[in-house]
Structure 1
Amino acid sequence: MASAEVGIISTIENLLQGQVGSARAKALLETLEIDRRLLSSSDTASRAELAMALNILLFDDLLKRVPTAARIVAEDVAFGRKIVFDHGALRTIDGPLGAFPRGHAAFGRLLEPLGYRVDALYPLPKLNMTGRAYVHRDLPEAVPQFFVSELHLDRLDQDARDAALRVFGQTQDVLDSAATEALARLEQEGGLPSAEAGALLKTLLAAFDRHHPEPALPDYETLLLHSKEAAWIATEGHAFNHATTRVPDVEALAQQLKARGYPLKEAVEVSANGRVRQTAILADKVSRGFRDAGGKRIEREVPGSFYEFISRDIDPATGSLDLTFDSGNATGIFAVTRSA
């Protein structure tokens, strides 16, 4: 970046350093393709810069939790290829969550002040879910999207709803008054002084985690029977379900990764308009804690998060990259946490 020549770091690098230190911040910026418009230096962080910093840190968090993704990314870096981070996805519960707002609204209140808007809704009836694509207003192709899906508890059987209430009913909210005030100012002014932006970033990052107690194993097994997506949220919470890299030819990449022994889903998902194509590695297994019927803590292996690949063509109607999603694609991709 141009600012490095005079020893000045970008606003985004400064934000990253405050969270992960200088060395990791530099490594992440060298790993990901960052639009030059996001690499200026100022005492004020714009909403786009803050949104990009959050995305970079969430990408980093996923790499820590998904060793297979970390290995693929390391191979790309070794070959001098930068990652184009297309979008991250998370799952929410549309139901009683204690102190935490229900469904997509819990994250809409964070994303909208960062410059995001809901671009489209994607019904996922086979999963009893609805997906929402949050696209950035300022730099829609350069700042990663968020795909936020919510599981509708009222569509599940009563025993599953009862188990969900026990699992999710004590979810804590990490958004304190200082963060709420900072988000309000960010929404009004479009930016924050760097120190305030760094403090807000720390709280925003903390929101993408599990904030309910470890589930009782019988409740988890009930959820697993009725909704594997609900069971996934029971152990993983609001962490990124997956992060997605944008590649020129996902079909060719899928064949290459399979030949190298990576556990990919069987087929590439193709959108109804043919312009969006996706595939993913199967979710890595993780060890998670549960309480058995007697209250004793035990650990089990369950599906964790995963890494996805997407190719997007130009939309001839607009001349711009097709940033849409597809309900059929999303339903097919969700299956990789079932097949892990």
Structure 2
Amino acid sequence: MSDHSPDHLQALVAAAIGVAAAHETLDTLVIPEALQTNGGPFVSRATFAMALNAALFHGLLARVPTGAAYVDDVRRAGGKVLLDHGALRTVRLPAGPTGDLPPGYLAFTRLLEPLGYEVADLYPLERLMMTGRAFRHRDLPEALPQFFVSELHVDRFSPAFQKVAEHVFGRTRDPLDATARAALEAFAGGDVCDLRLAAKALPVFVAAFGRWHAPPSLLAYEALLAESPEAAWIATEGCAFNHATDRVADVEALADAQRRLGRPIKDHVERSASGGVRQTAFKADPVERMFADGDRTVCRLVPGSFYEFITRAPLAEPEDGVTLDLGFDSGNAQGIFKMTATA
């Protein structure tokens, strides 16, 4: 019953972002070979996962002009983007759920596990008072994008910070509707879903990667920012893709080329302790956000999302068909997180 088809991908992504945008996005991304065979009325979890990633990638480019300019260069040169992973940030309050959402990363575990993802590793981000988790796909671990889901531990901050965080995040709404839940049940029960149901559900999945709490006041934003730029970022951007990452052959050479073009790329490349993972990124593009400030509303430029690059070295000995070092690194991640520290 496991059906894969480029037509399925096109139909799913078009349901979320429109026909023209779906065609352009899928033509830009490297699509795993395992998803190239024709199928029938059912969509596999791997196909749905790729469609979700494609739609989220499109959404990130709409918010990140620097990344969009780079991707335009790739398209004009006849190349493609190999989407390695997308990253998002979540909040864990000191006790209980986050409004209507399960606490922290669990808000996305409920989406990702039925689609075939599992937590591959845990990454303490101690300097940021966060924990990162890498979600890797069981069916196509090397070919499908991973999700790096970080969780902010509110209980590690000051009592004043905790009070503001409770106020900002404690009323978060749950974006999932009956259609999305039905699709999740189908994938969890048999790894496939009816194409029509999947097409209706995908826009809801995509919307879940957004901000589902009320916008913060300027006072609340500044209180969060004083102790955690990451918390302030979540306050304005929610669980949107913090960054999308392009897997490239030589991240150092790419960084040098982008620097010569005058693009705002990180000053140096982050290298993992193992030496197998090298990363760099463009600095976050600023976005305008409105804040309530007493009786008036003010507009501020704040850090938005960004575009990242990664090079993964081959493993000395392949493991379960995986030939690349698919791991992450706490030091690398904390260095990359600085891309959204200022606008």
TM-score bracket, normalised by the shorter chain, equals over 0.9
1:90-109 maps to which residues of 2 (within 5 A)? Answer: 90-95=88-93, 96-109=97-110
Give CA-to-partner distance per residue, 1:16-43, whole Å, 9 cap, x none: 1222232222111111111121133321
Tell me, yes or no, if the aligned pair for 1:11 and 1:43 is still in contact at 8 Å: no
Give CA-to-partner distance per residue, 1:252-292, whole Å, 9 cap, x none: 11111001101011110000000100000000000011111
Overall identity of the aligned pairs, in %: 52
The alpha carbon displacement at 1:293 in A equals 2.6
Q: Tell me the distance in 2 between the aligned counterparts of 1:331 and 1:337.
A: 11
The correspondence for 1:327, drawn from 330, 335, 343, is 330
Give CA-to-partner distance per residue, 1:145-204, whole Å, 9 cap, x none: 000000000001111111111111111101123322321221111010100111121111
Q: Which AA in structure 2 matches 1:204?
A: F
What does residue 38 of structure 1 align with?
Answer: 35
Change (3 A) 1:287 1:314: same
Give CA-to-partner distance per residue, 1:309-328, whole Å, 9 cap, x none: 00001111326111000000
Tell me, yes or no, if the aligned pair for 2:179 and 2:200 is still in contact at 8 Å: no
Tell me, yes or no, if the aligned pair for 1:153 and 1:161 is still in contact at 8 Å: yes
What does residue 313 of structure 2 align with?
Answer: 313
Give CA-to-partner distance per residue, 1:221-260, whole Å, 9 cap, x none: 0100000000000000000000000000001111110011
The correspondence for 2:10, drawn from 10, 13, 16, is 13
1:131-280 maps to which residues of 2 (within 5 A)? Answer: 131-280=132-281
SS at match of 2:216: coil
Give CA-to-partner distance per residue, 1:29-80, whole Å, 9 cap, x none: 1111111211333211100000000000000000000111100000110001
SS at match of 2:148: strand
The alpha carbon displacement at 1:97 in A equals 2.1
SS at match of 1:97: coil
Q: Tell me the distance in 2 between the aligned counterparts of 1:36 and 1:336.
A: 33
Tell me, yes or no, if the aligned pair for 2:302 and 2:342 is still in contact at 8 Å: no
The correspondence for 2:46, drawn from 29, 34, 48, is 48
* Structural RMSD (CA): 1.2
Q: Tell me the distance in 2 between the aligned counterparts of 1:9 and 1:131.
A: 32
- In structure 1, the gaps of 5 or more residues are 1-7
- In structure 2, the gaps of 5 or more residues are none
TM-score of the aligned structures, taking structure 1 as reference length:
0.95
The correspondence for 1:86, drawn from 74, 79, 84, is 84
Moved more, 297-306 or 52-61: 297-306
TM-score of the aligned structures, taking structure 2 as reference length:
0.94
Query: How many residues in Structure 1 have an aligned counterpart in Structure 2?
Result: 332
Tell me, yes or no, if the aligned pair for 1:284 and 1:303 is still in contact at 8 Å: yes
Change (3 A) 1:9 1:98: closer
Tell me, yes or no, if the aligned pair for 1:282 and 1:339 is still in contact at 8 Å: no
Q: Tell me the distance in 2 between the aligned counterparts of 1:200 and 1:22.
A: 17
Q: Which AA in structure 2 matches 1:325?
A: F
Q: Tell me the distance in 2 between the aligned counterparts of 1:49 and 1:237.
A: 26
Tell me, yes or no, if the aligned pair for 2:98 and 2:104 is still in contact at 8 Å: no
Tell me, yes or no, if the aligned pair for 1:11 and 1:40 is still in contact at 8 Å: no
Moved over 4 A (4+): none
Q: Tell me the distance in 1 between the aligned counterparts of 2:215 and 2:26.
A: 35
Tell me, yes or no, if the aligned pair for 1:312 and 1:322 is still in contact at 8 Å: yes
